[in-house]
Amino acid sequence: MNPSHEFLNHFTRRQFFSGAGLALGGLAFNLLAPRLRAAKGPDALNARVHPPLAGFPHFAPKAKRIIYLHMNGGPSQLDTFDYKPKLQEYFDVELPDSIRQGQRITTMTSGQSRFPVAPSIFPFKQYGQSGAWVSDLLPWTAKVVDELAIVRSVHTNAINHDPACTFLMTGSEIPGKASIGSWISYGLGSDNNDLPAFVVLTPRFSPKVAAQALFTRMWSSGFLPTTHNGVALRAGADPVLFLENPNGVDPMTRRTMLDALNQFNQRAHARHGDPETLTRIAQYEMAFRMQTSVPDLTDFSGESAATLDMYGPDVKTPGSFAASCLLARRLAERNVRVVQINHRGWDQHGTLPEHLKIQCLDTDRGCYALIADLKQRGLLDDTLVVWAGEFGRTVYSQGTLTKTNYGRDHHPRCFTVWLAGGGVKGGVVYGETDDFSYNIVRDPVSLHDLNATLLHCLGIDHLRFTHRAQGLDQRLTGVEPAKVVKAILA
pLDDT of residue 267: 80
Question: pLDDT for 143-161, tens place per residue?
Answer: 999 999 999 999 999 999 9
> Which segments of 96-179 does DSSP mark as H helices, in order?
97-100, 139-143, 161-170
pLDDT band at 385 (very low <50, low <70, confident <90, very high): very high
- Angle 275-298/321-333 helices, nearest 10 degrees? 110
Distance of CA 299 to the CA centre of its chain: 24
Residue type, 178: A
- Higher-pLDDT residue of 15 and 246 is 246
Domains observed in the chain = 50-488 (3.40.720)
pLDDT of residue 41: 45
pLDDT of residue 36: 41
According to DSSP, residue 144 is labeled T
> How big is the chain, counted in residues?
490
Question: pLDDT for 66-91, tens place per residue?
Answer: 999 999 999 999 999 999 999 999 99
Question: pLDDT for 389-440, tens place per residue?
Answer: 999 999 999 999 999 999 999 999 999 999 999 999 999 999 999 999 999 9
Distance of CA 378 to the CA centre of its chain: 22
Tell me if 438 sits within 8 A of 395, measured CB to CB. Answer: yes
d(CA 55, CA 71) in angstroms, rounded, equals 34
> Does position 250 have pLDDT exceeding 90, yes or no?
no
Q: Which helix (H) or strand (E) holds 344?
A: strand 338-344
d(CA 190, CA 196) in angstroms, rounded, equals 8
pLDDT band at 33 (very low <50, low <70, confident <90, very high): very low
Q: Return the minimum-mean-pLDDT range out of 59-63, 230-234, 305-309, 352-356.
A: 230-234
Burial code (b: 16+ CB inside 10 Å, e: under 16) for 409-420 equals bbbbbbbbbbbb
pTM, two decimals, is 0.86
Burial code (b: 16+ CB inside 10 Å, e: under 16) for 171-207 equals bbbeeebbbbbbbbbbbbbbbbebbbbbbbbbbbbee
Residue 28's CB is within 10 A of a number of other CB atoms, namely 15
